Amino acid sequence: MIQHKQAITCKARTRLCIRLIWAVLLLSPTLLSAQPVNKQATLPQIAIIIDDLGYTLKRDSRAIDLPGPVAYAFLPDTPHAKKLAAKAFLQGKEVLLHQPMESLDGNKLGNGGLHLNMTEAEVMQTVRANLQSIPHAIGINNHMGSLLTRHPGHMQWVMNAVYQQGNLFFIDSRTASRSAAHKVAQETQIPSLQRDIFLDTWVNPNKIRQQYRKLLKLARKRGYALAIGHPFPETINMLKKELPRLKSQGIELVAVSELVKQKNPLLMNTPTKTYMVQKRVHINSWEPTQK
């Protein structure tokens, strides 16, 4: 009788063990896929570029002294570009070439500008020379260019020069709503982003603060946002005051290169295209041609 009871007890224990094993097996996928409880959510990120540097030593130097990983874009062949680019580099800031490109309203470009009537060889040589003139440049963005950036053929020449240089990224300042620069850059396998917000289209403290708030709002909504500003005292004063507050506002200021890297993970899988160059009068009718 005792042996019989012991046999029943052993069977019960065996059944219980089997049920526990099955429960563990069934629950294990859920346990494996569950996120750690203490994992922190990624903060919304912003990146900022200050354009048009190189002409004014004191003003531009003050801009470079802004806190955090703000990037600085220097116009080629300007009096203080080399010295200021070296200063930015020594302070751990990122340096870009601010490449002048022809605009719809015919604004003067200064030295190193790209025009619609230039040949492929002239465009590529100009870009290469401008890159060499700005020490420590790791990227390029366009200065003006509301006309030239509409032309995929000419932008292809620009990107060919950038690609040949290697290890550079391109930021489309988006001075034209129909800009082809970002698309052509990516199709040429160059890491690229587009500007989201201009901070100081209107050089007015209230307007600048309003644009800055739009930048933060977009970052919270989308997860990131890229702004471009200029070394106006009004802009620099605002950023000097506001950038140290970002952490308490739950937003992270990151280097432009970091944002570019995050947003171009599959770049090398993008099929390459080339674009036909046509006459100035047909600026709205060009189409990409597959290789």
At 277, is the pLDDT very low, low, confident or very high (cuts 50, 70, 90)?
low
Whether 65 has a pLDDT exceeding 50, the answer reads yes
Instruction: Report whether 192 contacts 222 (CB < 8 A).
Output: no
- At residue 75, does pLDDT exceed 80? yes
Query: What is the per-residue pLDDT across 184-221, written as a single tens digit (0 to 9) for each?
Result: 999 999 999 999 999 999 999 999 999 999 999 999 99
- Tens of pLDDT, residue by residue over 216-271, are 999 999 999 999 999 999 999 999 999 999 999 999 999 999 999 999 986 644 44
- Predicted confidence band of residue 169 (pLDDT cuts 50, 70, 90): very high
Cα pseudo-dihedral 177, 210, 43, 270, rounded to 10? 10
Query: What domains does the chain contain, in order, with CATH numbers?
Result: 45-280 (3.20.20.370)
Residue 4 token pair: 């019989």
Q: Tokens 């100035």: give the residue.
A: 280
pLDDT for 37 equals 42
- Count CB-CB contacts under 10 A for residue 92: 9
User: Where residue 64 falls among pLDDT bands split at 50, 70, 90?
Assistant: very high
pLDDT digit string, tens, across residues 113-133:
999 999 999 999 999 999 999
Beta carbons within 8 Å of 188's beta carbon, 6+ residues apart? 156, 159, 160, 162, 163, 272
Q: How far apart, in whole angstroms, are the C-alpha atoms of residue 261 and residue 7?
A: 66
